[in-house]
Chain A
Amino acid sequence: MPRRNNILANIDWVTIGLYLLIVLLGWLNIYAAVFNEEHQSIFDITQRYGKQLMWIGAASVLALIIMLLEVNFYVFFSFIIYGLLLLTLIAVLFFGTVVNGAKAWFTFGGFAFQPGEFAKFATALALARYMSSYGFKLQKPKSLLTIAAIIFLPIAIIILQNDTGSALVYFSFVLVLYREGLSGVVLFFGTLFALLFILALVVSNLTLAIIMIGMVMLAYLVFNPKLKQFAYVFMVYAVCLAVFILADLVIKTNFETDQFIVAGAVVASLFVMYSSIKRRLPNYTKIAIVFIGSVLFTISVDYGFDNFLQAHQQVRINELLGIESNPMGAGYHVNQSKIAIGSGGVWGKGYLQGTQTKFDFVPEQSTDFIFCTVGEEWGFAGTFLTIVLFLTLFIRLVWLAERQRSSFSRIYGYSVVVILFFHFMVNIGMTIGVMPVIGIPLPFFSYGGSSLWSFTILLFIFIRLDASRLEQLSV
């Protein structure tokens, strides 16, 4: 069968290699996280590492089946798969089991299965199918409404399951839309203000200031990619910030460090605004104005939240954002998590030598907080390598997506990468205390059959599509 050979030759082994590497590292860390002297056999299926080995085996079979199926299968059945998954999600609402407060699980015997995980690839398929259909134009209101419906249906059901964290993942599709022609301005301001609103309430002022300054620098770079001008702007900010930070260190005042930093950045922005008007660089003027506006916006969100909202309204918003008002709650997890990661130092304590992630100091250590084990036992070397590994995978996937001839494959490919990226960003961010503690796993890494399988399916459908990139798809 020449066609099969053809597929085999066109498979992107780099991606598969990265996938295997991450899964293997994940398993090693799960082993470390739940390691104890009593159960040392790696095949002990009473232990999580034993079970994870089973999940990995099953995932390989899944991957193989996905590769063997006809490529048009995914195109043809995309809406049907999407519909079936939605029905399953609704069924969970009625017949599901509650785990950690979310009614998002089916349990059979000792095994739990979370349909919400699988709705991600189904939504990606449906979105790809719809957006690649003949005569599709993103700018038409009808198109936008349909896209919104495809994305928000699973979100609505998952929120009803009381699993807000998982629902947030779907907002990452905005990046796919952006790639497919959604106006950058819409993307920019939409995400900017949503993000600022959440961040203003969730993270500390200092973190927020750093994030905002990072974002404004990125904006200068993106909207006017001329290095010389950017270097100038960069210098302005660096000097202003340095002056203000120095001032904070030298002068004793009632103001906090973050207030000094923000003030420095605002002064720099005013300066950039002034000089950009003179030099006729409207993009820089706009960015500086947006930055100052954002600062005012976050200050007013903070102020409004503290002063205008009733206590119970504050509690409700906090709950939605995953902030527990309980002093023993979320803050406790993050502190323990930061201690574990921070104690790793440069080279870590060595494999199986971690003390913090052993036992139960860090909760959910093999699932949502698996990155703590990496940080403690492998140190900065390990965490840096993990980040590099994930980024390599993401960039490889973007490159693969861009080389697709059919827009179906490209859109699906982008969906895969943004979903993986969102999990990566939130999961690692929460272990180091810059993201709210919403329980979503680190792809391929965290313990759990449902998540490993769903990410495997998500990724391998794309690998399968990519392997047939030279064929004509029947969209």
Chain B
Amino acid sequence: MNNLSNRSYIIVAIFAVVGIVYTILLFRLQVLDSDYKQYATNNVLREVVQYPARGLVYDRNGKLLVYNKTAYDLLITPREVQTFDTLLFCNLLNIEQDDLERRIQKAKKYSRYKPSILIKQISPENFAILQEQLYKFKGFHSQTRTLREYTHPVAAHVLGYVGEVTGRDIQRDEYYKSGDYIGQSGIEKTYEKQLRGTKGVKKFMVDVHNRIQGSYRDGEEDQPAEIGKNLISTLDLDLQIYAEQLLQNKKGAVVAIEPSTGEVLAMVSAPTYDPSLLVGRVRGENYSKLLADTLKPLFNRSLQAKYPPGSTFKIINTLIGLEEQTINLQTRFECYGKASSPIRCTHNHVSPANVVDAIRESCNPFLWNTFRSILNKYKTSAEGFNVWRKYALNFGLGRILSKDFPNALKGDLPQQALYDRIYGEGHWNALTVRSLAIGQGELGVTPLQMANCCNAIANRGYFYEPHIIKEIENDTVRSSVKVKQDVGIEARHFEPIITGMNQVTKGNLAGLIGITGHDFCGKTGTIQNPHGSDHSAFTAFAPKEDPKIAVFVYVENGVWGSRYAAPIASLMMEKYLNDTIATRRIVTEKRMMEANLLNPIQPK
């Protein structure tokens, strides 16, 4: 035991060492180092968060889409506030006295010694006036923020908007502090990490009069803000503007994609809104207005509206039949027009029809027979259905196509289990689910998915992930956009389809939708609407060989595919390919732009 009691000396030695080390450190801090006295006479160490400018967004040709403008926040440190001329103050800020009182109380409640924001996002013009007088108000200071500004009032849904972080954002990522901004939809949300940059902090010494006396420790402890990375989007600004003009006063959506890359050239959801409405102090009010609007301008139809794909889907069914060899180019099916069973045909045409005729005429009986042959090829209808479903998935239906569109829906592509549940296992067959043959029934497809199908057809069997960002400054776009996605159908099977689609654009529609100087392919669609006029759809790509653009246009209450959707699609393609619209088509262009379909009761 005696031996162990020697250890008491070691324990005391440990105490002594800590005591001596602390004494030395305190001596250095209090006696040797004069810096700290200097800082204390300057009274307050103020840390100012440096907010980086968000990255800019350009279109595919280097035209600026989104940039930043400066705004100022006025901050209050309640402890430092002295009596001041509230009337002058309120006049400068253009607020009511009791509003000011409320805001000050709120700041006091948050903290008496930490600065908090009193007034947000003051415009540079107003701030210039305020700043001259600011010295009269002790305890107030400003910080610089940046707000989004747009070169053109277009592409609101694609670009998205920036808003203040919510409690959940702060919980999820501790980079964010109350009052910070975060991308809340569109590109701003998907590319938030790249666009936001990194906040910094600058430490200043300020005297009792709130004047900055210089940086703390010569800025040794400052962390400079890193500005956000610039993005080059795949959008073509001119095409986007043009598409929005064509869709004005209509409900609908347009998606245009470059087939060789999957780059989205234009994406419109109508009615749309001016993105600058959701910036700055007017944001909250405008947001509520847009939210309350019965036309739902905030609803992104190009990603979230689910339509039955209609006759556009007939192309896919025909392709599946060809690949599964249940039909071939010699196959002909009888069509009895309106007398056909179990699905009647809506057109008058040659009968029996082959593949090309069927595509051109959108022949329902042909499609029914093809669909039945696919399901009946296998032992059970369910097995055949699953083969069919696999192709539909390959085309991008029923799934999310890209991370670039955070709000996109995956659409409806029914599973075997659904029919098993409704009809009982083994108790359903091609006849039961026949509406799938003509793109109706349980199918729900978004315009983005439709445009992507068209893209795959234009490429004769493959597509690249449709995406919206082409390049990120000092960074790389995720590699998935460079992966070729094969739909599993041989290229040769596309030729009769493309011939049929080409004939669509050449018949009696040629005058209305022909593109000057280019041979192209298209397919109309009309979707029955029990609530009013039918919806109009058109899928197309141009030119026929080596396609440069694939488009899907959807116009609600547009009656027939050929009435609105087809002219709009062809005008867009002409604009994109030729940069101008031929004189003979100006009338059509004018008619499209001026058409107002927002009144839901239209003559049939």
Q: Contacts A380-B27, A383-B30, A434-B25 known; A342 to B40 CB distance under 8 Å?
A: yes
Closest chain-B Cβ to A406's Cβ sits at a distance in Å of 12
Residues of B within 8 A of A327 (CB): 47, 49, 199-201, 223
Q: How far is the CA of A153 from the CA of B27 in the complex (A)?
A: 40
Interface flag for A425 (CB, 8 Å): yes
- Chain A residues contacting B112 (CB-CB under 8 Å) are 359-360
**Within 8 Å CB of A178, what residues of B?**
7, 10-11
On chain B, the residues within 8 Å of A390 by CB distance are 19
A340 on the B face (CB < 8 A)? yes
Tell which of B8, B17, B43, B203 touches A179, judged by Cβ atoms closer than 8 Å. B8
Choose the segment among B31-39, B151-159, B182-190, B316-324 that binds chain A (4+ C-beta atoms closer than 8 Å). Answer: B31-39
User: Which one of B8, B13, B40, B216 contacts A355 once the chains associate, using CB atoms below 8 Å?
Assistant: B40
* B36: contacting residue among A343, A391, A434, CB under 8 A: A343
Q: Give the chain B neighbours of A315 by CB distance below 8 A.
A: 174
Report the minimum CB–CB distance from B24 to chain A (whole Å): 9
Most buried by A among B10, B26, B223: B26
Q: Closest CB-CB distance, A451 to chain B, in whole Å?
A: 21
Which of B12, B41, B43, B49 touches A398 (beta carbons < 8 Å)? B12
B37 near A387: Cβ-Cβ < 8 Å: no
CB–CB B174/A325 < 8 A: yes
Q: Does A227 contact B (CB under 8 A)?
A: no
**With contact pairs A214-B17, A222-B13, A327-B49 given, residues A341 and B201 touching in the complex (Cβ less than 8 Å):** no
Q: What is the minimal beta-carbon distance from B198 to any residue of chain A, in angstroms?
A: 10
* A136 CB → nearest B CB, Å: 13
User: Do residues B15 and A402 form an inter-chain contact, with CB atoms below 8 A?
Assistant: no
Complex interface: chain B residues within 8 A of A394 (CB): 12, 15
Chain B 79-103 interface 0/1 with A at a Cβ cutoff of 8 Å (1 = within) = 1000000000000000000000000
Q: Does B22 contact A (CB under 8 A)?
A: yes
Q: Is A395 a contact partner of B15 (Cβ separation < 8 A)?
A: yes
Tally of contact residues, A, Cβ under 8 A:
60
A384 contact set on B, CB distance < 8 A? 23, 26-27
Q: Which of B10, B18, B39, B41 has a CB less than 8 Å from the CB of A222?
A: B10
Interface string of A329-365 (1 = CB under 8 A from B): 0011001101111111110000000011001110100
Residue A211 is within 8 A (CB to CB) of chain B in the complex:
yes
- Kindly state whether residue A379 has any CB partner on chain B within 8 Å: yes
**Closest Cβ neighbor of A379 among chain B residues:** B30
Minimum Cβ distance to chain A for residue B109 (Å): 14
Q: Which residue of B lies closest to A356 (CB)?
A: B40
Known: A328-B49, A375-B30, A398-B11. A214 touches B22 (CB 8 A): no
Q: A301 at the A/B interface (Cβ < 8 Å)?
A: no
Q: Are B44 and A342 in contact (CB under 8 A)?
A: no
- Report yes or no: B17 in contact with A380, Cβ–Cβ below 8 A: no
Say if the beta carbon of A180 comes within 8 Å of chain B: yes
- Judge if A282 is at the interface, Cβ distance under 8 Å: no
CA distance A338 to B27 in the complex (A): 12
Does any Cβ of A come within 8 Å of B423's Cβ? no
Q: Is the CB of A214 within 8 A of B43?
A: no
Interface hub of B22, B33, B112 (most chain A Cβ within 10 A) = B22
A218 is an interface residue with CB less than 8 A from chain B: yes
With contacts A326-B174, A384-B23, A398-B8 taken as known, whether A341 is within 8 angstroms of B29 at the C-beta atoms is yes
Chain A residues whose C-beta falls within 8 Å of the C-beta of B27 in the assembled complex: 380, 384
A273 part of interface (Cβ distance < 8 Å):
no
Bound Cα distance A335, B37 (Å): 13
Whether B7 and A179, one on each chain, are in contact in the complex, defined by CB atoms closer than 8 angstroms, is yes
Among A178, A211, A327, A376, the one with the most B-chain Cβ atoms within 10 Å of its Cβ is A327
User: Cβ of A425: which chain B residues have Cβ within 8 Å of it?
Assistant: 18
**Nearest opposing residue in chain B for A221, CB measure:** B13
Residue of chain A at shortest CB distance from B216: A335
Docked-complex contact A344 and B30, CB < 8 angstroms = yes
**Complex interface bits, B301-319 against A, C-beta within 8 A gives 1, otherwise 0:** 0000000000000000000
Interface string of B33-76 (1 = CB under 8 A from A): 10111011101110101000000000000000000000000000
Contacts of B350 in A (CB 8 A): none
- Give Cα A22–Cα B567 distance, bound, in whole angstroms: 90
Q: Report chain B residues within 8 Å CB of A387.
A: 19, 22-23, 26
User: In the complex the two chains form, what is the Cα distance from A381 to B19 in whole Å?
Assistant: 14
A395→B11 CA distance, assembly (Å):
9
* B476, CB-defined interface residue at 8 Å: no
Contact between A391 and B26 (Cβ–Cβ < 8 Å)? no
Which residues of chain A come closer than 8 Å to B8, judged between CB atoms? 179, 398, 401-402
Q: Which chain A residues lie closer than 8 Å to B295 at the CB level?
A: none
Shortest C-beta distance, B469 to chain A (Å), equals 23
Alpha-carbon distance between A273 and B292 when the two chains are bound, in angstroms? 80
Contact B4 A391 (CB under 8 A): no
Chain B residues in 8 Å Cβ range of A363: 113
| Contact across chains for B15 and A421 when beta carbons are under 8 A apart | yes
CB pair B26 A328 closer than 8 Å: no
Whether A179 and B11, one on each chain, are in contact in the complex, defined by CB atoms closer than 8 angstroms, is: yes
Most chain B CB neighbours (cut-off 10 Å) among A339, A356, A363, A394: A339
B5 CB-CB contact with A under 8 Å? yes
The verdict on A181 contacting chain B, using a C-beta distance below 8 Å, is yes
Give the residue of B10, B26, B40, B223 whose beta carbon is less than 8 angstroms from that of A380: B26
Contacts of A221 in B (CB 8 A): 13
**A190 / chain B contacts, CB cutoff of 8 Å:** none
With A343-B39, A361-B113: A380-B47 Cβ-Cβ less than 8 Å: no
A116 CA to B174 CA, complexed, in Å: 29
By the criterion CB–CB under 8 Å, are B19 and A391 in contact? yes
Query: B339 near A: Cβ within 8 Å?
Result: no
Contact B201 A432 (CB under 8 A): no
Query: Chain A 387-426 against B: per-residue CB contact (8 Å), 1 yes, 0 no?
Result: 1101100110010011000000000001000100100110
Q: For the complex, what is the distance from the CA of A394 to the CA of B27, rounded to whole Å? A: 22
A263 to B85, CA, bound (A): 62
Q: Which of A175, A326, A346, A414 contacts B30 (CB 8 A)?
A: A346
Complex CA–CA separation, A376 to B40 (angstroms): 10
Contacts of B11 in A (CB 8 A): 175, 178-179, 398, 414, 418
Q: Is the CB of A341 within 8 A of B30?
A: yes
Which residues from chain B contact A332 at a C-beta distance below 8 Å? Answer: 45, 47
Would you give the 0/1 interface string for B205-222, flagging 1 where the beta carbon is closer than 8 Å to chain A?
Answer: 000000000001000010
Query: Is the Cβ of A339 less than 8 Å from the Cβ of B22?
Result: no
How many Å from the CB of B100 to the closest CB on chain A?
Answer: 23
Residue of A whose beta carbon sits closest to that of B15: A394
Q: How far is the CA of A210 from the CA of B21 in the complex (A)?
A: 9
Residues of B161-175 at the interface with A, using a CB-CB cut-off of 8 Å, are 174
Q: How far is the CA of A389 from the CA of B30 in the complex (A)?
A: 19
- The answer to whether B4 touches A360, judged by C-beta atoms less than 8 angstroms apart, is no
A386 to chain B, nearest CB (A): 10
Interface flags for A163-203 (1: CB within 8 Å of B; 0: not) read 00000000000010011110010000000000000000000
Task: Name the one of A222, A339, A395, A398 contacting B40, with C-beta atoms under 8 angstroms.
Answer: A339
Is B591 engaged at the interface, CB distance under 8 Å to the other chain? no
Contacts of B30 in A (CB 8 A): 341-342, 344-346, 375, 379-380, 383
Q: Which 6 interchain pairs have the tightest Cβ spacing?
A: A342-B36, A343-B40, A360-B113, A327-B201, A380-B30, A391-B19
Q: Beyond the given A360-B79, A394-B12, A432-B29, could you list 8 further A-B residue pairs with CB under 8 A, ordered by the A residue number?
A: A179-B4, A328-B177, A335-B203, A336-B45, A342-B39, A398-B12, A401-B8, A424-B18
Can you list 26 contacts pairing A with B, beta carbon distance less than 8 Å? A178-B10, A179-B4, A326-B177, A327-B223, A328-B49, A332-B47, A335-B216, A341-B26, A342-B29, A342-B36, A342-B40, A343-B36, A344-B30, A345-B31, A345-B37, A355-B43, A375-B30, A380-B30, A383-B30, A384-B23, A387-B22, A387-B23, A390-B19, A391-B16, A398-B11, A434-B25
List the interface of chain A (C-beta within 8 A of B): 175, 178-181, 184, 210-211, 214, 218, 221-222, 315, 325-328, 331-332, 335-336, 338-346, 355-356, 359-361, 363, 375-376, 379-380, 383-384, 387-388, 390-391, 394-395, 398, 401-402, 414, 418, 421, 424-425, 428-429, 432, 434
